[in-house]
Amino acid sequence: MKASTKKAIENAGMKVYGNYVSVSGELFPLPLVQGNEKLGKTVWHSSTVPTCGTISAYMPNGETITQKGTCPCSCDKCYATTGNYLFNSVKYSLIMRTKLLKEHMETYFQLVAIQIDTENIKKLRIHASGDFISGEAAGYYGILASRPHVSAWTYTKCTMSEDLRRLDSLNNCNIVKSIIRGHGFNFGTIAHVANMFYFLKRAGKSVYICRCGIDKEQHCSNCDGCSSHEYVLFVEHSTGYQPEKEKLLNKFIELVENQKNEVSKNA
């Protein structure tokens, strides 16, 4: 934990033990995490338990802790339930961050604000895993409305409530719809993604295909697709799907390279 972050947390009346904060007698990890190889190191993110089911993990003392997920769906091809998310340490962190959000929401956002300010965070991905719970969108609105220098974005499978629409109305926050009415999820094979792209373009929508599906070096640090378009599409990953074996790959690469960005959310 950064020294300035630790000091700000202690000044707020909370005790810090290593990288954990004591809240009501329990130790919790900080809400925001610095980006991974997909997001890039300049992008921070929040994450909660994915799926609508329940996951379990072992605590440091060997006891089992469980937590119900925050997402309204349990998709078969959800990347947030595969790969690194299967490790106990990752599941434990997700469970504790979800518990902090659900049981101590005011403290959760107090810590989010401290992290943004002391770490000088400029890019924030809300929910690298999981989805919104009641009151959460309002919490992020209060933080982002007073920090216009922070560019934030998120995906949701939830119905756009008044709080979500209000959050989406901020110039520095964009909510991307994970489910496209009449067309399914915003991810899939390259054929599915191409069909969705043309479907949305014909409807006059702001749409962008994420380059990550064809460029392994691409990450969110040097892209603003998710923060500036109503719809973002991407090739499915963490499912064993191999787009490089598709006959349509070259045509798909051409589409991604030449996609028009003249229509954006804030145009």
Contact, 33 vs 135, CB < 8 A? no
Joined tokens for residue 168: 């989406």
The pLDDT, as a whole number, for residue 150 is 96
**Residues of the chain where predicted confidence (pLDDT) is lower than 70:** 36-40, 73-85, 218-221, 238, 260-267
The model carries a pTM of 0.85
Owner of token pair 């191999």: 242
The pLDDT, as a whole number, for residue 181 is 74
The pLDDT, as a whole number, for residue 262 is 44
Contact, 190 vs 254, CB < 8 A? no
